[in-house]
Amino acid sequence: MAALQASSLLVSSSSSSSSGCSLKRTITASIQAPKPSILSLADHPGAVIAKKLVEELNTRNGYAFAEPLQMDVAQKDRVLEPRLSPTSSIETTTKLYAILVAVEDRVEMHDNIGEQRDNWNKLLLNSVNMMTLTATTTAAMASAAPAPSLRVCSALLFTAATGMSLVMSKIQPSQLVEEQRNASRLFKQLRSEIKSMLALQSPTKSDVKEMMEKVLALDRAYPLPLLGAMIEKFPAKFEPAAWWPRVSDNRRQSRGRKTIANTERNGWSEDLEVEMRAIVQVLKSKDKQDYLRLGNMALKLNKMLAVSAPLLTGIAAASSAFGGSTATTVAAIAGAMAAIINGFEHGGQVGMVVEMYRNNAGFFELMEETIKVMLEEQDYNKRENGEMFEMKVAMKLGRSLSQLRDLARKSMASCIEGIEVDEFGSKLF
């Protein structure tokens, strides 16, 4: 209610000309009310809650939030109106932080398990070789000076070495270590990608879905448990590793049916598209095929070694049990050969070499698929910037932009002339 204050009272009198005098009073008053307060939305409870949430996301784990709370100042009324990020954007960012925490945890798990399995490889190899060499020495002594106790000790040691060698051949500890190394490296790449997304742009629901698919694809490609989920160490056919979500045929067809909405090409040109197709041809025909060939050779060698070592220690155990000078001599020779094969297979980490070739072939398959999917997208606004994409491809292949374009020209010339390109696409490996 406004307060009423009388400011002045004026009384004036005047006399009439003929009938007498009359009193005329004039009252002049003014009403003074307080200036109405301007409602500021900055103090609104919803704005305060949103601001606190954003500040928490800004300070959590030391990561920067891409869209802080912004305030628009109206020049006319000077009223502060908060332009809050949509609720879905805040929820999306929170989900992305949750995925980032899960990725951090997986990096730690794969590092710890990789270290543990590296210890397995060293301890099991040393134990098997010590038992095999001890049994071989005992068998040699038994052949020179026959004694039942020496034969029994030799047979027991060879039997134990056979069992441990079978386990090592089945699980391939050096290959398990390489799997965990690759999983840790790829999860660290995904962690950097999520951090960059949070720092440089506002994440969307599709970004959250894509990150979740990548995490689950990595979990499938590099499982942590051994029983029931371990990657087959001796497959019938050597195939590249696949740690990324596959693009379905339906999605590819939907990409191809889209029409160009505008004339801007987002850094792309006809020459750049031709260049990328030529790069794909080189990676497919040279790099990927070479690692598939090497991987098949390494896999066959590993299969032969994995069968030979337990077989030789088994023969040595049986020969020691039968006794006799000839049998113990055979046991000593077989034990010595088993120790050599075990040292070459597990000490030389042939399983690790197989896994390395598998991952290298997968890397080139991923490059091929990434470029193809990018070129199949008909809407240039939905593509990554062409110049940026070209730079990324060059860096992944260990080349400069000029070297990448030279490789594309050689690939196109080889298709025209019908000759093979004389170099590989990657200069890194």
18-32, 104-118, 162-176, 402-416: range with lowest mean pLDDT:
18-32
pTM of the model: 0.74
89 versus 315: the higher-pLDDT residue is 315
Over residues 212-238, the mean pLDDT reads 91
3-state helix, strand, coil in the chain (%, to 5): 70, 5, 30
**How is residue 259 written in tokens?**
């029409």
Q: Looking at residue 51, what is its pLDDT?
A: 52
Q: What is the pLDDT of residue 5?
A: 40
pLDDT, position 44: 47
pLDDT in tens, 403-418: 999 999 999 988 888 7
Tokens at 272, concatenated: 């750049």
Q: Categorize the per-residue pLDDT at 248 as very low, low, confident or very high, splitting at 50, 70 and 90.
A: low
Q: What percent of the chain has pLDDT over 90?
A: 56
Residue whose C-alpha is closest to residue 207's, from 69, 77, 95: 95
Q: Of the ranges 177-186, 221-230, 411-420, which is most confident?
A: 177-186
Residue 127 to residue 119: CA distance in whole angstroms: 12
pLDDT band at 422 (very low <50, low <70, confident <90, very high): confident
- Higher-scoring residue by pLDDT: 208, 66: 208
pLDDT in tens, 284-308: 999 999 999 999 999 999 999 999 9
Task: Report the pLDDT averaged over residues 89-101.
Answer: 91
One-letter amino acid at 10 equals L
pLDDT exceeds 70 at position 103: yes
Kindly tell me if the per-residue pLDDT of 154 is higher than 50: yes
Section 43-47 average pLDDT: 47
Determine the pLDDT at residue 342.
92
Is the pLDDT assigned to residue 27 strictly greater than 60?
Answer: no
Helix axes 288-322, 148-171, angle to 10 degrees: 160
Q: What is the mean pLDDT of residues 37-58?
A: 47
Q: Distance between CA 280 and CA 285 in Å, rounded?
A: 9
Whether the pLDDT of residue 256 is over 50: the answer is no
What is the amino acid identity at position 115?
Answer: E
Asked if 58 contacts 48 with a C-beta cutoff of 8 angstroms, the reply is: no
Q: What pLDDT does residue 146 have?
A: 76
Q: For 17-26, 210-219, 292-301, 371-380, which range has the lowest pLDDT when averaged over its residues?
A: 17-26
Which one, of 293, 306, 292, lies nearest residue 344 by Cα? 306
Mean pLDDT, residues 215-229: 90
Residue 65 binned pLDDT confidence (cut-offs 50, 70, 90)? very low
Which range is least confidently modeled, 3-7, 183-187, 219-223, 392-396?
3-7
